[in-house]
Amino acid sequence: MCRIIAIANQKGGVGKTTTASNLGIGLAKRGKKVLLIDADAQGSLTASLGFTEPDKLEVTLANVLEKVINDEAMETGYGILTHDEGIDLMPGNIELSGLEVSLVNIMSRELVLKSYVEQIRDRYDYILIDCMPSLGMITINAFACADSILIPVQAAYLPVKGLEQLIKTIGKVKRQINPALEIEGILLTMVDSRTNYARDITALLIETYGSRVRIFENSIPMSVRAAETSAEGVSIYRHDPKGRVAGAYESLTEEVLGNE
């Protein structure tokens, strides 16, 4: 059974892309077949995995979704890139912005990504979708085809308060489009554990959402080393394997595997 997890937060800069790549590679290290889908027009996930100029790629998610919309056949694996840490990638780039606008006029517009994923899901154990920092049509498409949503949240007051809108949107998609949709959990990122502030934020998160939503036991510490991985095109496991962030993502991988 393939599990599809969307990694989403309408606020940018919370560690979505870092979480998508390191969780994906963490799962691959455990012998899972993993596909990462870059559903963000900025192409950050594509760039952070070493494909440094996403806008110059021949085939990206935008081209694939256009083929789905136009009912054109695709060979298996069309447009999928491989990364030397054992994962596959469906890249994304700026063309997704244009596609998002044109989706508005299409029949069953929320289900375009789902019909693509249905064609390839039997080849993978996990498909992780890195969503753009908005609740636009492409993000709704990701929610419509996901089994669950993992929400990275920066350990700060405003991002935690901003979760309400996201959770409402997830509830709406669950009621109207995808009744099987669940929240995988909330993941605290960029945590500076030396401060009382981080502890207060954690307490606020548990108090506000803990009764409704699972909050991952592991949080991702603040780290310059983690920020450097994007420029290197490799995961934290290769860049700083003994560091605290690599340990944190290994523990997160264990928790996600425990949800199977």
Predicted confidence at residue 128, as pLDDT, reads 98
> Does the pLDDT at position 203 exceed 90?
no
Q: How confident is the model at residue 78 (pLDDT cuts 50, 70, 90)?
A: very high
Q: What is the pTM of this model?
A: 0.94
Q: Which of 215, 225, 217 is nearest to 245 (CA)?
A: 225
> Does the pLDDT at position 208 exceed 90?
no
Residue type, 76: T
The β-bridge relationship of strands 81-83 and 87-90 is antiparallel
Architecture of domain 3-258: 3-Layer(aba) Sandwich (3.40)
The number of helix segments (H) and strand segments (E) in the chain equals 12, 7
User: Span 57-68, mean pLDDT?
Assistant: 95
Q: Is residue 112 a contact partner of residue 68, using CB atoms and an 8 Å limit?
A: yes
What are 150's two structure tokens? 């993992």
**Which residue stretches of the chain are H helix?**
16-29, 44-48, 61-69, 95-103, 112-120, 137-145, 157-161, 163-176, 196-209, 224-232, 236-239, 244-258
Predicted confidence at residue 10, as pLDDT, reads 87
pLDDT tens by residue, 113-171: 999 999 999 999 999 999 999 889 999 999 999 999 999 998 777 777 778 889 999 99
Predicted confidence at residue 89, as pLDDT, reads 97
Q: How confident is the model at residue 248 (pLDDT cuts 50, 70, 90)?
A: very high
